[in-house]
Structure 1
Amino acid sequence: MKTRLKILTLTVSALVSCSAFAADYPMTVTDITGRSITLDHQPENIALGTARNFPLLEIVYGKNAGKHLVAMRDDMKNSAPSMYDIYLKRYPSLAKAHTIGKISKGQFDAEAFINMKPKPDVLIIGLDSAKKAQSTGLIRKLDAAGIQVITADFRDKTIENTLNSVTTVATALGQE
């Protein structure tokens, strides 16, 4: 188990030094649920179904992570305030990010999200939210509005899904 964790840590650490590459759009990626997502342009405005996934944006964008975040849940601010304070000092723009509700609990306001300025290009969600978003038609609704939903998993099957989640999101966002 320790060996797997070391390999995972080294792999994710290597991804931290990722650089931009010339991505061709439209592009289709497959997320960890097996769903194909087609992006017609390079996403710039990113929303997070859970603020605790902000480190993913750091992996993908490095020092520019805060520049791309337009919305997130307030879970980090409420449940891990010291973590939020650290990120807020490093990325003051987090304070301007719109707050969204929890999808899996039915607290997400799709209309407000779709009409948000700037409009999100991508919403990154976890497995629990993906199940609810699929069953309620939220994914279909957001897709029709031009907002792509990508499922990433860092909680349920951490070892199995982390590398694939990071790689899929990085590729979709035009990063290598």
Structure 2
Amino acid sequence: MPAAAEQVTITDIAGRSVTLTVPVQRVILGEGRQLHVVAALDREAPLRRVVGWRDDLIKSDPDTYRSYLGRYPQIAELPLFGGLNEGGFSIEKAIALKPDLMLLNFEAKGASEETGLVEKLAALGVPVVYVDFRHAPFLNTEPSMRLMGQLFGRPEIAEQLIAFRSAQIARVTERLAGAGEIARPLVMIDRIPGYSDACCLSFGPENFGKMVEIAGGRNLGSEFLSGTFGTISPETIITRDPDVVIATGGNWGAFTPGGNWVGLGPGADLAEARHKLANLAKRPAFINSQAVKNYRFYGIWHQFYNSPYQFVALQQIARWLHPELFPDLDPDATLRELHERFLPVPFEPGYWVELSAAPERP
């Protein structure tokens, strides 16, 4: 049964107190990838409350968008917005949609303050709430899901999803804790290689970097980067010679058509992804590394970095780092169960790939 409307005061991820009426009915998603939670909360009609959204899902994760579009073709008619950080957001267009909530990701906070967006919307009775699945996901994902469950009048579903997430993380952490002292391989997370010619973007002690640490590895980026994101020089990578390299990949045809990126995501062509991964292994920073010599050069879906479902990536990374400890852990099965229990679209494989043979030297 629909929850009865009531006025509540919540505290968002930015620590702001916001008073509003819940459950909300007309929402603008300041990040299209917030759909990953919205779809679980409103599984029977995942876009029924969304009156507009940012275009990042369509551009940065077109395979997920395709999956939802096939089942809900009406989403093609939803008004689109550009990002606040890129100056592509129209407040006039937003106001015309008469929203009762705007959800923003935490990293948009600076731009929203500079433009006065929060104050302008507040003057019209439209509250802004910040959530976070990207900046510090292992700190903020569960509070963000719980917050969205309250806003949508679906707290029970949010708690079920949180419990599932916690249990899947525990399958990694508890087994590692029981293993005692183990060798922790040095891991280089190669962020979106092939998107550009730059080498090499990576993660510091958060996000994928944190996943590596939780999965029983040592994140190379944590040695050199203090923030969530940064760059590591090819010379540093050669000197440190990582045991494992994990490249993040996705479908970036909207930004770099025909690029060398590893196309991963729902329904991905894994043969093509493996071919591109082998090409990336030929780069000077990696070709002579232990990771390539020992076929410990992998690719994983980049969008786990901005999704509440990063626990699936954690399981896959744990399998790669410690295969002897996790022979029975099946991240594909975990992701399939997530779809069957919580999401309105079917599971499609395509989220990771492995180097199956040594690449030919250039």
When normalised by structure 1's length, the TM-score is 0.81
Residue-by-residue CA offset, 1:53-111 (whole Å, 9 max, x unaligned): 11111122122211111111111112222111001123222112110121122221111
Instruction: Give, in angstroms, the shift of residue 23 of structure 1.
Output: 5.1
The equivalent residue for 1:170 is 149
1:49–1:73 contact (8 Å) kept in structure 2: yes
SS in 1 for 2:135: coil
SS in 1 for 2:52: strand
Instruction: Give, in angstroms, the shift of residue 47 of structure 1.
Output: 1.2
Instruction: Give, in angstroms, the shift of residue 40 of structure 1.
Output: 3.1
The equivalent residue for 2:8 is 27
The equivalent residue for 2:267 is none
2:27–2:52 contact (8 Å) kept in structure 1: yes
The equivalent residue for 1:113 is 94
Instruction: Give, in angstroms, the shift of residue 124 of structure 1.
Output: 0.9
Q: Does 1:152 align with 2:152?
A: no
Alpha-carbon separation, structure 2, partners of 1:41 and 1:61: 15
Alpha-carbon separation, structure 2, partners of 1:88 and 1:109: 24
The residue type equivalent to 2:95 in the other structure is I
Instruction: Give, in angstroms, the shift of residue 136 of structure 1.
Output: 2.4
Q: After superposition, where does 1:55-74 map in structure 2 within 5 Å?
A: 55-74=36-55
The equivalent residue for 2:83 is 102
**RMSD of the TM alignment (CA)?**
1.7
Q: Does 1:38 align with 2:19?
A: yes
Instruction: Give, in angstroms, the shift of residue 134 of structure 1.
Output: 2.2
Q: Which of the pair is proportionally richer in helix?
A: 1
SS in 2 for 1:93: helix
Change in 2 beyond 3 A, CA 1:52/1:120: same
Percent of matched pairs sharing the same residue: 32
Structure whose alpha-carbon radius of gyration is higher: 2
Instruction: Give, in angstroms, the shift of residue 42 of structure 1.
Output: 2.9
Q: Specify which structure has the bigger relative contact order, considering alpha-carbon pairs within 8 angstroms and separated by 6 or more residues.
A: 1
User: Which structure 1 residue ranges, 5 or more long, are not aligned?
Assistant: 1-19
Instruction: Give, in angstroms, the shift of residue 143 of structure 1.
Output: 1.4
1:46–1:71 contact (8 Å) kept in structure 2: yes
Alpha-carbon separation, structure 2, partners of 1:95 and 1:146: 28
Residue-by-residue CA offset, 1:9-36 (whole Å, 9 max, x unaligned): xxxxxxxxxxx67455211111111011
The equivalent residue for 1:3 is none
SS in 1 for 2:88: coil
User: Which structure 2 residue ranges, 5 or more long, are not aligned?
Assistant: 156-362
Instruction: Give, in angstroms, the shift of residue 135 of structure 1.
Output: 3.1
SS in 1 for 2:45: helix
Change in 2 beyond 3 A, CA 1:173/1:56: same
Alpha-carbon separation, structure 1, partners of 2:125 and 2:68: 29
SS in 2 for 1:39: strand
1:72–1:99 contact (8 Å) kept in structure 2: yes
What is the aligned counterpart of 1:91 among 44, 58, 72? 72
1:67–1:93 contact (8 Å) kept in structure 2: no
The residue type equivalent to 2:71 in the other structure is R
The equivalent residue for 1:127 is 106
Change in 2 beyond 3 A, CA 1:41/1:172: closer
When normalised by structure 2's length, the TM-score is 0.41
Alpha-carbon separation, structure 2, partners of 1:44 and 1:24: 10
